[in-house]
Structure 1
Amino acid sequence: MSTYKLTLIAVLAALAVVGRYTFQFLPNVQPVTALIIICGFFLGPVSGVLLAGLTTYLSNLFLGMGLWTIWQIIGWALIGWMSGLIGKYWRAVPLAVMVVFAVFCGYLYGLVVSLATFSVAGNFLSYYLLGLPFDTYHAVGNGIFMTILFPVFSRIFAKYFRNSGYGKIPASK
């Protein structure tokens, strides 16, 4: 991994941390998941996982660490890895498909983080069902952030790929 790519991931992590901190007053609405999806899609699965871990750790320094931090890293790393595989094997992805994927990831993330309660308290179903409204906020927020950020970052990454010599950017419709 080049210094240029690491710097880009660090900048994305800073944007994600600031975005998460800025939107903390809205429950579960933040640009973190959308940025992890975008990073994984354009830079690959390893970069998506790296951004997930970095963002979670750094933002939780401000927002609070706990057992949930591990599960947040696992949830966002899974999303970054899946997005990287999509970007690696499916080059021309329409924006609508990315938005649907982002919405799905809101519920997937909620499921993974809810597993933390099961591992500690053993009462998964009631906790998960009570958290579904918050997962829905997360899913809707992901859809909105993806609609706004994906076209912008597509142009940014097009310039990155032109200047870095890493080849062509994954085409999106």
Structure 2
Amino acid sequence: MVKSSLKMTATTENNEMEQLKTDVKEPNRSELTGNLDINIYATKKTIAQGMLDVALLTANASQLKYILQLGHQHEFYFLMVTLISTSLILQITVGSLILARSRYDLNKVEDHARANVLNNSIVWLVFGITVINVFIAAFGIDPGFDSRKVIRLQASTSSAITNQTDKSNPELIEH
């Protein structure tokens, strides 16, 4: 009798444990993270990447303006113009590809392959832009170099040349 009573108690305890296991349901991944919409995540990521692209585009445009103002006096003028122009073209290409990538619905399996190809292309182009901008920084603007002095020097040199020309040509001298 004691043996059957112990057996019933053990069976009852096992049933209660099984009931507790079913009552305490483990949360699945979507319950832990909320309802994550992959499209919203990708959109936010695209916006953040676009803002960084705009910042780099602005910096490169400013560098190009500086190099063009300085002209051939910059030691690496042609290299810098080529690197900055290439970087600008690649950035515009990346921006276009980002816009194209945003058209795909990542919840649709049939869009995954095309979105993946675009994403990989963007990653490689961004890597290329990064390498180019490292070279721009290496060959670029000398922080101790004051372009205003060069521009003033150019202005004073051209005015001195004009004055010498005027003095050498007596017809231009006023009486």
TM-score, with length taken from structure 1? 0.27
TM-score, with length taken from structure 2? 0.26
